[in-house]
C-alpha cells in the first residue's frame, strides 16, 4: 500500500546515521515486544506478511513519532484484536495497569492455537519458516531480459517500493520460487512465483543528477514486472 512507511527515496528526512556498536535492543520493553510478536505469530492466526501489513496501517503522524518496536506493538495489538484473541478493552486495561480489576469471566481460548514453548524458542528463531516454495512454476523472465515495473497503487501490502514503479531494468538473477507477499498478506494463499534480482541504472531511478555508473538491485516478483 502507499503509506508513510514506504519512505525509500524520499527527500527531506535527513541522513541515515548508523549507531556505532548498536545493541540488538535499546530497552527491555523492546526485547519483550519482539518475544511477544514471535510467540503470538506462532499461534497460527496470521502470517509474516499479514504482520507487516498490520504495521503499515498505523496512522502516519503516529508512525513518524514512534520507534521501530512501537510500530511492532501497534501492529500486534491490531492483529490480536482483529482475530478476536483479545478485546480493545482488555488491551487498554493491561496498558493502564487495570488488568487485575474485577471483570467478566475469562473467555476460552479459540481452538486450533499452536503454543510456542520455551524449549522450542531457539529452534524457531534459528530455522523459522522459509518463504521459499517447492513448486514447479515456470519463470516469466530470464537473466538478461529487459523489464519494466508496473505502476501499481495497491490498497494492500506490496514489496514493490514507490520509487521503483514504472522503471526499466534488467533481470540480473532468478532467486527461484517464493510466496508472493501481496497475496499472502491478503489471506489469498501463497500464489507462488519467481522472485528476481532486477538491476536498475541509478539515473533511471533518481534522474540525471545521479551518478552515471551507479546501479541499484531490487528483488521483485513476477507480478510486478512486464517485458520492456
Q: What is the pLDDT of residue 97?
A: 78
Query: End-to-end CA distance of the chain, in Å?
Result: 24
pLDDT at 144 over 80: yes
Other CB atoms within 10 A of residue 141 CB: 19
User: Does residue 173 or residue 124 have the better pLDDT?
Assistant: 173
Contacts of 177 (CB under 8 A, 6+ apart): 132, 133, 134, 135, 137, 192, 193, 194, 195
- Lowest-confidence segment of 82-86, 173-177, 179-183 by average pLDDT: 82-86
pLDDT band at 227 (very low <50, low <70, confident <90, very high): very high
What pLDDT, in 10s, does the model give residues 60-87? 999 999 999 999 999 999 999 999 999 9
CA angle 141, 143, 144 (to 5 degrees): 105
Provide the whole-model pTM: 0.88
pLDDT band at 105 (very low <50, low <70, confident <90, very high): low
Q: How far apart are CA 203 and CA 212, in angstroms?
A: 7
Shortest CA distance to 76 belongs to which of 58, 103, 59, 94? 58
Amino acid at each position: 500500500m502507499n503509506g508513510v512507511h514506504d519512505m525509500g527515496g524520499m527527500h527531506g528526512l535527513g541522513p541515515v546515521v548508523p549507531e556505532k556498536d548498536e545493541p540488538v535492543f535499546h530497552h527491555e520493553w523492546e526485547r519483550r515486544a519482539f518475544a511477544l510478536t514471535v510467540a503470538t505469530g506462532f499461534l497460527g492466526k496470521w502470517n509474516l506478511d499479514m504482520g507487516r501489513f498490520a504495521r503499515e496501517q498505523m496512522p502516519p503522524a503516529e508512525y513518524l513519532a514512534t520507534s521501530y518496536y512501537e510500530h511492532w506493538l501497534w501492529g500486534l495489538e491490531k492483529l490480536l484484536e482483529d482475530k478476536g484473541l483479545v478485546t480493545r478493552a482488555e488491551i487498554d486495561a493491561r496498558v493502564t495497569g487495570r488488568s487485575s480489576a474485577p471483570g467478566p469471566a475469562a473467555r476460552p481460548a479459540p481452538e486450533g492455537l499452536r503454543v510456542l514453548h520455551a524449549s522450542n524458542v531457539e529452534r524457531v528463531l534459528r530455522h523459522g519458516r522459509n518463504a521459499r516454495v517447492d513448486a514447479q512454476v515456470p519463470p516469466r523472465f530470464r537473466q538478461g531480459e529487459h523489464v519494466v515495473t508496473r505502476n501499481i497503487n495497491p490498497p494492500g501490502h506490496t514489496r514493490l517500493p514507490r520509487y521503483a514503479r514504472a522503471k526499466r531494468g534488467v533481470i540480473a538473477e532468478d532467486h527461484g520460487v517464493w510466496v508472493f507477499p501481496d497475496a499472502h498478506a491478503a489471506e489469498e494463499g501463497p500464489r507462488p512465483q519467481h522472485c528476481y534480482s532486477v538491476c536498475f541504472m541509478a539515473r533511471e531511478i533518481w534522474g540525471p543528477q545521479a551518478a552515471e555508473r551507479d546501479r541499484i538491485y531490487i528483488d521483485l516478483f513476477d507480478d510486478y514486472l512486464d517485458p520492456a
